[in-house]
Structure 1
Amino acid sequence: MEIFQAAKPTVLILENSDKSLLRIGELLSSRYTVKAVSGGRSVQQVCSDEQPDLVLIDTIRPGNQGFEVCLQLKQADHTRQIPVIFLTREADADQQQLMFDLGAVDYIPRPIHPGTMLARIRAHLADSVVRRDHRAHTDIMNHEALRHSRQLAALQEVTLLALASLAEIRDSETGNHLKRTQHYIFALGQYLRSNPRFTRYLTAERLDIIFKCAPLHDIGKVGIPDKILLKPGRYEEAEYEVMKAHPKLGHDAIVKAQSLVGDQSEFLQIAKEIVYSHHEKWDGSGYPQGLKGDDIPIPARLMAIADVYDALISKRVYKDGMSHQDATQIILAGRGSHFDPDLVDAFVALGGVFQGIASRFADTEEELLEKLKQSELAQ
């Protein structure tokens, strides 16, 4: 359904019920241009073609798709500022907090009261216009600085992805492992921004850096011999000790790069923390430094839970992947020993989001067969 009227704000609706969609469309169409879509990819397409001024998302979607769509919008630079309002029947305190943690500006309880819906949409659109005008003014005043910043960011991202791809080519993991862990980390970080322990650290800018640096977490595996790195099944004790060297190898490579170019930016500092400390454990039993509790950098703690979850659910040449439920039980068992307890709680709350990310970036049979061939050639 699409209603075109010039000079009206555009409201995009992701609604599960055709009947409800028609009702909402009729309510809004006299004041707004209404666009409706049926799936998450459609939302991204519409937002890429012509940005709406506000998005309404029904939470009753298969596999918590509505929550994942909100995360995707908040993750992308060009859609991050679009206000998102959830339509929900489940408005208890935990559900409300989850919606706000994912980046929504508001929620409207069902059954929908027309006056309430119109008032809340009007208020958030007015606020959005003010913020958009301010951003436009800032962009004009800082055009050259912004252009330079984007060029630098693009160069950093290309460099990071090239380095990560180099490690992935030699690893038993597929390229989608990098994408999945990136998005798991972003979901956890977005959720934890409202937690007092993490609020000051997990700014939007820093979370963006963590997201971009995440694919580097196993860059040190470049220095591990193929016969060990690509070995199917469990390592012998001596092999495992060699494998455990990869965090330090990656860390030392970044330190050397820093010294060569004289770059001590937060970007490389976060990359170094993820690479060096993502195998540390909350109780101090991890490696390579045996760090404990809050001494483990936050980016590394995020990567630890993302990396373990993905390893558990992913099919590999030497094992089948386990279910989300079984993986969740293992991670829960590591609460307070392997993992930061607050991160485990966030992971459990975001279970449906994690499943959606795993499905969206699932490995293909062709990718797994390619890794099998690679492993056989190395033996």
Structure 2
Amino acid sequence: MHKVLIIDDSDINLTLIKALVLKLGECEPVLFEHPLKALEWCREQVPDLVIVDYMMPDMDGLRFIAAFRALHGRTEIPVLMITANDQKDVRYEALLGGANDFLTKPIDRVEFSARVRNMLALRTGQKFLADRAAFLAEKVDERTREIRERERELIVRISRAAEFRDPETGAHIQRMAHYSEIIARGLDLAPATSRLILQAAPMHDVGKIGIRDHILLKPGRLTPEEFAVMKRHAEFGYELLKDSGSEIMQAGAEIALTHHEKYDGSGYPRGLRGNAIPLFGRIVAVADVFDALTSERPYKKAWPLDEALRFLEQGRGRHFDPLCVEAFLAGWEEVLEVRHRFQDEAVATI
């Protein structure tokens, strides 16, 4: 059913045009004598066709068309203007001002029916294309969600691949990722950025895939030579991820390379100092160290929470960005909830 808006200050003309419109079938005429009231109706309603007379009080047809076109979403709706025979200049101005077609008085019934049918057919095509575009956009969104889900699955699997060769557990990468998100929120980063670090942080140690077992799995202290090899996992992880077109993988590459840098410049692999260390690296440094300290491993006992907190506080400005430590401490209740949710024996997904 097409809504046809008819605006004319003459009752006779309104009655005539209404009758002609009803003869077309599948049309609902909406009548207004006053253009300002019709414009108010148009603010809430969307007609399929506008038929407007030129000569009207308060607002002529040209001004009505201009005001109508200025409303959101009304630029493509067909407009038919009705003018007198001797108003050629007005017709030209109407076409230039947004009218799609015009009729002259007295109205010819056959011409009226033909022109209105054509304009309603145009409107039907517009609505079909709009519906088609909406359908396609929905399909694109659906496929994009599927791709992102597969991307997240791939990231988890890559992270787990490093984990299978490392004494650290799956729960560790979950905890430190959520700790990183807590810090990001505490720093007032945008929600999308906080979500990004949650998704990318699990890849922080993916470069350990490239470290030989006799070093990676050595139960005792590493020799200086062995530790030099172990430190290369940061660059291995970066090289593995850096060329990806995925925003998450690129963030993971940055984290892999920089989460062992220290705020005073004594970290590795590049000895970056202060804000020269990318923010994601500074955030993950706090999250990763805290979880490593408070987690039990075959080669060490878990530190008590108060000792781990003291280590973070003592490391402000040396090992850690002071603002990242402050954000972590401010989110302490959430930190405890994450520790409870992701136990070492549990298998969970982000």
- After the TM superposition, which residues 169-188 of structure 1 pair with which residues of structure 2 at under 5 Å, given as runs? 169-188=164-183
Is contact 2:186-2:330 (8 Å) kept?
A: no
Alignment partner, residue 147 of structure 1: 142
Identity %: 39
- Tell me by how many angstroms 1:302 deviates: 1.1
Partner SS state of residue 319, structure 2: coil
Match of 1:351 among 312, 325, 332: 332
In 2, the alpha carbon distance for the partners of 1:287 and 1:248 equals 10
Partner SS state of residue 170, structure 1: coil
Structure 2 vs 1, CA of residues 325 and 140 (structure 1 numbering), >3 Å: closer, same or farther?
A: farther
What residue ranges of structure 2 are gaps of 5+ in the alignment? 1-133
Structure 2 vs 1, CA of residues 154 and 346 (structure 1 numbering), >3 Å: closer, same or farther?
A: same
Say whether 1:208 aligns with 2:203: no
Is contact 1:182-1:211 (8 Å) kept?
A: yes
TM-score when normalising by structure 2: 0.58
CA deviation digits over 1:305-359, x for unaligned, max 9? 0100001100000111011111000010100111111111112222232122112
In 1, the alpha carbon distance for the partners of 2:250 and 2:156 equals 17
Q: Name which one, 1 or 2, has greater alpha-carbon Rg.
A: 2
Partner SS state of residue 164, structure 2: helix
CA deviation digits over 1:99-142, x for unaligned, max 9? xxxxxxxxxxxxxxxxxxxxxxxxxxxxxxxxxxxxxxxx9894
In 1, the alpha carbon distance for the partners of 2:220 and 2:256 equals 24
In 1, the alpha carbon distance for the partners of 2:174 and 2:253 equals 19
Size of the aligned set, in residue pairs, is 214
- After the TM superposition, which residues 150-299 of structure 1 pair with which residues of structure 2 at under 5 Å, given as runs? 150-193=145-188, 202-255=189-242, 257-258=243-244, 263=245, 265-299=246-280
In 2, the alpha carbon distance for the partners of 1:148 and 1:295 equals 38
Partner SS state of residue 232, structure 1: coil
Letter aligned with residue 240 of structure 2: A
Say whether 1:336 aligns with 2:331: no
Letter aligned with residue 239 of structure 2: D
In 2, the alpha carbon distance for the partners of 1:254 and 1:278 equals 15
Letter aligned with residue 146 of structure 1: D
Letter aligned with residue 362 of structure 1: Q
Is contact 1:184-1:354 (8 Å) kept?
A: yes
Alignment partner, residue 317 of structure 1: 298
Is contact 1:324-1:355 (8 Å) kept?
A: no
- Tell me by how many angstroms 1:213 deviates: 1.0
Is contact 1:247-1:277 (8 Å) kept?
A: yes
Letter aligned with residue 164 of structure 2: I
In 1, the alpha carbon distance for the partners of 2:310 and 2:183 equals 18
In 1, the alpha carbon distance for the partners of 2:344 and 2:153 equals 23
Is contact 1:218-1:246 (8 Å) kept?
A: yes
The 10-residue stretch of structure 1 (337-346 or 349-358) with the greater mean CA deviation from structure 2: 349-358
What residue ranges of structure 1 are gaps of 5+ in the alignment? 1-138, 194-201, 368-379
User: After TM superposition, what 4+ stretches of structure 1 lie above 3 angstroms from structure 2?
Assistant: 139-142
CA deviation digits over 1:164-207, x for unaligned, max 9? 111000001011101111111111111211xxxxxxxx221222
Letter aligned with residue 216 of structure 1: M
In 2, the alpha carbon distance for the partners of 1:352 and 1:233 equals 35
Is contact 2:260-2:268 (8 Å) kept?
A: yes
TM-score when normalising by structure 1: 0.54
- Tell me by how many angstroms 1:210 deviates: 1.4
Structure 2 vs 1, CA of residues 148 and 206 (structure 1 numbering), >3 Å: closer, same or farther?
A: farther
In 1, the alpha carbon distance for the partners of 2:203 and 2:291 equals 16
Letter aligned with residue 335 of structure 2: F
Is contact 2:293-2:302 (8 Å) kept?
A: yes
Letter aligned with residue 341 of structure 2: R
